[in-house]
């Protein structure tokens, strides 16, 4: 495994050297940039397949997700009755030579997500009945590979956003973007697993792409349809992804109307044409509210009090930890960012500390978008500045909402979970664009003109040498950041955790 890690590291340095070469030589430059994205796609997908085989059955809540798919397949319901869903055992039955799993009807499925992803997953098949009504043959890898295909669509959209919006004159900028959006460890860990996170990559990317087009002035029917599809599909897949998209869309829309002093971005033909798409989500949540009295049911709501208080989501008062608010913040932030820079699941494959060199690049991703407010970066960002800033604010708002929910659960029932950072993977293009624009802004301050792709170094010889050194430091810093992101994913796991 270590040999594979060293080979992967060597490949990065080959790409870095090639990025310098094609920055100077125009011939083959676009093909090389396309190759960067192709490599990152193959690398991330291969890592996902590796994890699915090397540490199978460890993706967060996978048995519950599979059981959700099975429930829809067996009942034919469009909108499930959550209280009737159960869970599969995570272990193959001992007497069986084929992958038979017990359907445990005494357990309630705790997933109350909207059903879009699970309906799509029904197309994968993978379930076969046995002589027993409570034993089902499940081809998990068949389901996982189908879900991998869904994830890859999202990744392709991630890469398209970078390829189409960043300057083709700077191949190293694309290398930085591609490594940033594809190197979150939990992204590859879940890529080949049955989880609705797979679909949120696509739904959020559609919304982000639509809002970028909107900010660029391309306010046609396609733009509004992309935003509507992204928001509606997110609402029908996962609430956190929907919050990210809705908050970002509102900020972009309101900021645009204020800047232009017009309601035209909202009151237009293209927007009205897209309205029926939103009606699908409205109808779903109307039905859910009529059934459960809330827009997002929980296990506590759909199960009995006695049942809920015997789950991991409820801690007996005598066994609860005692934290004041400051201590809880410290605990939450540490667990959140360790799961952001590492793998948090059945097993924990995390960095040693939140301030480890291999963890810091992942953490500063949350700060970098704020630098788009600075004049140098904002000038280079141009029309990308609004969607990046709006996306970052949306991330912060959703993070605060998640923290509030987690802290409320800790106070009311002693539960110390709820810190999952993987919910923010669908907005990786925002982080990736922010990083790329930061380095572009630094380069522009040193004489680079984005509109022409020309770097002008003027002045006397000492000034020339200083600026040349500064350029070199910018390149080195950008590639070092990209390398640490890349190294912190699969190569880190192979070197530190794989046998």
- Supply the pLDDT for residue 147: 98
101 is a domain residue: no
- Supply the pLDDT for residue 452: 60
Q: How far apart are CA 50 and CA 343, in angstroms?
A: 14
254-258: list long-range contacts, CB under 8 Å, 24+ apart.
255/386, 255/390, 256/214, 256/215, 256/386
197 is a domain residue: yes
- Supply the pLDDT for residue 166: 95
Q: How far apart are CA 94 and CA 103, in angstroms?
A: 14
- Supply the pLDDT for residue 95: 76
- Supply the pLDDT for residue 34: 97
Three-class SS of residue 169? coil
- Supply the pLDDT for residue 158: 98
Token readout for 251 is 């900020």
From 483, 481, 455, 452, select the one nearest 470 (Cα to Cα). Answer: 455
Q: How far apart are CA 65 and CA 308, in angstroms?
A: 19
To which residue do tokens 């350029």 refer?
471
110 is a domain residue: no
Parts of the chain with a pLDDT under 50? none
- Asked if residues 187 and 425 have their Cβ atoms less than 8 Å apart, the reply is yes
- Supply the pLDDT for residue 449: 57
Q: How far apart are CA 101 and CA 104, in angstroms?
A: 9
- Supply the pLDDT for residue 119: 98
Element (H, E) at 177: helix 171-182
Element (H, E) at 348: strand 348-349
Per DSSP, what are the bridge partners of residue 104?
87
- Supply the pLDDT for residue 132: 87
Phi then psi dihedrals of residue 448, to 5 deg: -85, 130
Contacts of 322 (CB under 8 A, 6+ apart): none
What residues make up the domain containing 343? Answer: 2-56+145-496
Domain count, the chain: 1
Give the count of beta carbons closer than 10 Å to the beta carbon of residue 196. 24
- Supply the pLDDT for residue 96: 75
- Supply the pLDDT for residue 189: 96
161 is a domain residue: yes
């Amino acid at each position: 495994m270590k040999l594979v890690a060293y080979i992967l590291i060597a490949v990065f340095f080959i790409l870095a050297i090639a990025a310098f070469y094609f920055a100077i030589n125009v011939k083959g430059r676009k093909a090389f940039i396309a190759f960067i994205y192709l490599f990152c796609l193959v690398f991330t997908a291969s890592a996902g397949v590796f994890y699915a085989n090397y540490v199978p059955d460890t993706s967060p809540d996978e048995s519950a997700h599979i059981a959700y798919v099975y429930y829809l397949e067996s009942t034919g319901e469009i909108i499930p009755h959550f209280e009737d869903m159960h869970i599969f055992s995570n272990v193959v039955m001992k007497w069986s030579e084929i992958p038979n799993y017990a359907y445990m009807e005494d357990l309630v499925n705790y997933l109350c997500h909207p059903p879009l992803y699970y309906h799509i997953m029904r197309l994968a098949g993978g379930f076969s009945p046995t002589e027993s009504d409570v034993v089902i043959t499940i081809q998990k890898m068949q389901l996982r590979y189908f879900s991998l295909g869904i994830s890859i669509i999202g990744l392709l959209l991630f890469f398209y956003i970078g390829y189409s919006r960043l300057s083709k004159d700077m191949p190293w900028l694309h290398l930085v973007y591609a490594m940033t959006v594809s190197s979150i460890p939990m992204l590859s860990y879940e890529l080949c697993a049955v989880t609705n996170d797979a679909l949120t990559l696509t739904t959020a990317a559609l919304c982000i792409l639509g809002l970028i087009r909107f900010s660029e002035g391309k306010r046609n029917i396609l733009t509004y349809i992309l935003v509507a599809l992204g928001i509606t599909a997110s609402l029908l897949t996962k609430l956190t992804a929907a919050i990210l998209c809705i908050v970002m869309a509102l900020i972009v829309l309101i900021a645009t109307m204020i800047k232009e002093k017009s309601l035209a971005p909202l009151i237009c033909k293209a927007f009205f044409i897209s309205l029926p798409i939103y009606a699908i989500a409205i109808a779903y949540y109307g039905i859910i509210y009529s059934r459960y009295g809330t827009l997002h049911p929980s296990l506590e709501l759909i199960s009995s009090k006695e049942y809920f208080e015997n789950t991991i989501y409820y801690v007996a008062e005598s066994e609860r930890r005692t934290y004041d608010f400051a201590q809880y913040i410290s605990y939450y932030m540490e667990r959140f960012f360790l799961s952001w820079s590492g793998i948090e699941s059945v097993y924990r494959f995390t960095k040693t500390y939140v301030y480890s060199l291999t963890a810091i690049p992942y953490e500063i991703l949350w700060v970098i978008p704020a630098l788009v407010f600075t004049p140098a970066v904002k000038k280079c960002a141009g029309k990308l500045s609004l969607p990046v800033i709006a996306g970052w604010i949306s991330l912060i708002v959703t993070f605060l909402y998640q923290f509030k929910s987690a802290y409320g659960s800790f106070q009311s029932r002693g539960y110390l979970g709820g810190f999952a950072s993987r919910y923010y993977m669908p907005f990786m293009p925002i982080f990736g664009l922010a990083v790329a624009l930061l380095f572009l802004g630094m380069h522009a301050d040193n004489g680079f003109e984005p509109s022409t792709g020309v770097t002008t170094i003027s002045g006397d010889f000492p000034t020339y040498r200083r600026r040349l050194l500064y350029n070199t430091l910018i390149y080195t810093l950008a590639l070092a950041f990209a390398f640490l992101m890349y190294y912190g994913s699969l190569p880190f796991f192979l070197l530190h955790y794989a046998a």
